[in-house]
Chains A and B, each alone.
Chain A
Amino acid sequence: MARTGPGLRIAIGVLVAVVAVGLPFQASGFQSLELAYALTFAIAILGLNLLIGYSGQISLGHGAFLAVGGYVTAIGQQRYGLNYLVTIPLAGIISGLIGFLVGLPALRLHGIYLALATFALAVAAPSVMKKPADLTGGVKGIILPPYTSLVPGLSDDQYFYFLCLLITVILFLVSYNILRKRPGRAFKAVRDGELAAAAFGINVSTYKTLAFAISAIYGGVAGSLYATATGFVSPDSYPFQLSILLLVGAVLGGIATIEGAIFGGLFTEFLPIFSQQALTPISRQLANAAPAVTQGIVLLIVMFVARQGIAGLLRQGYAALRGRLRTDAQTLKPAGESPPTGIR
């Protein structure tokens, strides 16, 4: 094994950890909250990526799972007096069950048709949430109690950031393990050729619905954190644009990569904010339109020049860096990082 490989890997890991833990102490409370939002989006995008990138099923409706998670959290806290630490896993479980149910009809749909059907899910979700008004608060929605820090020395926002960070790390490790083992290989086999996968004894239906369920669990947990951070759920919190935003984040970060979800989350949170701020001095009207235009242009750029997204670019950079270090160290032939499969 290469001598420099693990060293470089550990160095990058330590750097990321230091930045992730140190950030909230440098940032203001509001910025910590923004970072918590970015982590929340990263969780949702990771789930979406498991579905789209690894099992090959398009979803334009993931915002619906965030809505389920958010409403489970709000109803659980307001009606049944549950602690939000209880409602987070509960939101994941219920959303996962719904994801499993959605995955069943999705088995019959492919490509563009699945995109249309899941798009319908995203569009319908807000009006469905509105309907049982005594349960969901109707158009007005439900106000959630604010979170308070349980750790002395941390402000409420810092505490919430670390809670999100902890959950993000756990969920990233879980998906890393899922993808490295049997289910991950099965997902990829199904994605690359259903017939061939079936011929190798993979139960295609089981793994496709499983991918939907896992991805919905991630969406539900993200929705729960999102609702807790906002302190409020209403049908308007989950427009279909949210689903599109998540897909954009997944593509920008890098489809079929795990670490891409982090970049995707950061972009989803900060790209609209920065583009709006940059144009506000020029004209308010321009600033309001800026997020949509930048989002579209960045998407096109990614599609034209870097289809593996940011994670793909970084992996190339990493491989190049490692190759250079290795030739300096005169080690054996490069094992090389496996190139991201990306989307074709």
Chain B
Amino acid sequence: MTALAQQIVSGLAAGGIYASLALALVLIYSAMGLVNFAQGEFAMFSTFIAWALIVALHLPYALAFVGAVLFGFGAGIVLERAVVRPFEKSSPLILVIVTLALFSIANGLAGAIWGYVPKPFPSPFPVTPISLGGVLVSLQDMAVIGITLVVLGLISLFLTRTRLGLALRAAALYPESASLMGVRVGWMLALGWGLASAVGAVSGILVAPIIFLEPNMMQGTIIYAFAAAVLGGIDSPLGAVVGGLSLGVALNLIGAYIPQLADVRLGVALLLLVLVLVLRPAGLLGRPEVSRV
């Protein structure tokens, strides 16, 4: 029983990281119906900024964290305004191509500036485990889960309890009516991108101490985040977190109890993604898509 609880807790910790990146994907999807393939690379880039602030400028971890999140926020807004804006109304193919282009550029730029050698990333949370009723939990893992939940809470508060959040949702759902009501729809989309990149930066900083910092570091995580977002419902922030945590737990349990599948966990996650897309595209908590023909 303790062993099972142990696996679930470690699964939650891994799931917290998938969840935070999935949350970033959901934010952009809800704002403009676009899956941002470059989300992981933005997160990686912001994480490098945090690393540079810590190592080069000797800033404390907390300040570097805030700095990287702010950088992510600003970069998201600038990229939406400068690069994505002309394609807002284009077909999915064009949007996919544009985000793939951003993927390549972010990845290459990080490689050009900081190189491809993996770097250790500091974490203020000790990894030494503490025992909670027989289950060993490291402060590091608890911080990952805690920060993910805090981020989800802040995002939901922002979306449901502030005027700006209301405007953001209105712009996403009914752009024309919203603009008649005085909402600046274009800037709301940019704000969505900024928020998503900021949340992505958090996930990058959380995962970096575990998997080391290098330009390709998020390419594994982003795939789990895709699966998590689709599982939870790609337009539901709560769904993203539920999807991420349950994916983390499920994969950990598979790894522990079905050793034959342990090394194809990625395949399991992707199979899940395809099955959900085909059988229940709205996911666990999403709204089913209705279209007029």
Contact = CB atoms under 8 A, between A and B. Distances in A.
Interface of A: 52, 58, 60, 105, 108-109, 111-113, 115-117, 119-121, 123-124, 127-128, 130-131, 195, 244, 247-248, 251, 255, 285-286, 288-297, 299-300, 303-304, 307, 343-344
Contacts of A112: 33-35, 92, 95-96
A137 to B, nearest CB: 16
A116 B264 contact: no
A299 B107 CA distance: 15
A206 B249 CA distance: 40
A117 B92 CA distance: 14
A292 B104 CA distance: 5
A244 B87 contact: no
Interface in B272-293: 273-274, 277-278, 281, 293
Q: Chain B contact residues (Cβ within 8 angstroms of A): what range? A: 35 or more
Given A123-B266, A127-B266, A303 B101 contact: yes
Interface of B: 33-35, 37, 83, 86-87, 90-98, 100-105, 107-112, 115-116, 223, 226-227, 230, 263-264, 266-267, 270-271, 273-274, 277-278, 281, 293
Nearest to B270: A120
A136 B116 CA distance: 30
A105 B277 CA distance: 9
With a 10 A CB-CB cut-off, give which of B101, B103, B109 has the most chain A CB atoms: B101
- Secondary structure dominating the interface of A: helix
A242 to B, nearest CB: 13
B263 A293 contact: no
A124 B267 contact: yes
A131 B266 CA distance: 12
Contacts of A124: 266-267, 270-271
B35 A297 contact: no
B237 to A, nearest CB: 18
A164 to B, nearest CB: 27
Contact of B105 (A127, A131, A293, A344): A293
Contacts of B274: 105, 117, 120-121
Contacts of B263: 127, 130
B96 A58 contact: yes
Nearest to B264: A127
Contacts of B270: 120-121, 123-124
Given A195-B293, A285-B112, A288-B111, A299 B101 contact: yes
- Secondary structure dominating the interface of B: helix
A251 B102 CA distance: 15
Contacts of B266: 123-124, 127
Contacts of A295: 101, 104, 108
A217 B208 CA distance: 41
Contact of B109 (A116, A130, A293): A293
Contact of A291 (B101, B108, B230): B108
Contact of A296 (B33, B35, B104): B104
B97 A247 contact: yes
A248 B37 CA distance: 14
A120 to B, nearest CB: 4
Nearest to A56: B93
A116 B274 CA distance: 8
A111 B92 contact: yes
B101 A292 contact: no
Contact of A116 (B86, B87, B101, B277): B277
B93 A52 contact: yes
Given A117-B278, A247-B97, A343-B94, 19 more contacts: A105-B274, A105-B278, A112-B35, A113-B277, A117-B273, A119-B226, A124-B270, A130-B263, A251-B97, A288-B116, A289-B112, A290-B108, A291-B108, A295-B101, A295-B104, A296-B108, A303-B98, A343-B91, A344-B91
Nearest to A122: B270
Given A58-B96, A304-B86, A123 B223 contact: yes
B33 A292 contact: no
